Amino acid sequence: MLNTLTRQLIGAALLAVTLSAPASERDIRNSVALGALAFADNCQKCHQIDGYGEEALYPSLHTPELLADKTLLIQTVLNGRLGHQEGNDNDMVRLMPAMDFLSNTEIAAIIAFISNSWGDEVVIVTAKEVEDAR
């Protein structure tokens, strides 16, 4: 696992590239790689390494509607998600905590990683788009 300083340096480098030009194939690969690290540190415990989630406790990330919607992805990572837990259709429960403590670059990278891993195409989100959604 990377330490915080290393992660911040990688994030700053990706942010500089993201703000300067349209994403190249290299930029996308770098974002997906950073996203894999951030996912492992913050998401994998619940969603598991394969993205299917831990049995009925945590939602699967293999959801085309989620993975194709940039706004929904940003809002879900930033604010978490409410929903009905299996066997309880009456009360809304927090299915996912807010991850708003992550940097804008980390959130953008997680979105690139999960969409690359389980979606039809890589969803490119800039750190600025995440900042604007905060």
In whole angstroms, how far apart are CA 18 and each of 29, 98, 101? 12, 24, 21
pTM: 0.76
Residue 34 pLDDT: 94
Residue 11 pLDDT: 56
CA–CA dist 102, 26 (Å, integer)? 23
Span 9-24, mean pLDDT? Answer: 54
**Is 73 in contact with 115 (CB distance < 8 Å)?**
yes
Q: What's the token pair of residue 4?
A: 């915080």
CATH architecture for residues 4-133 = Orthogonal Bundle (1.10)
Burial zone of 73 (CB within 10 Å; 0-12 exposed, 13-18 middle, 19+ buried): buried
Residue 108 pLDDT: 96
> pLDDT for 88-122, tens place per residue?
666 666 678 999 999 999 999 999 999 999 988 88
Indicate whether 125 pLDDT > 60: yes
> pLDDT for 39-82, tens place per residue?
999 999 999 999 998 766 787 899 898 898 999 999 999 999 87
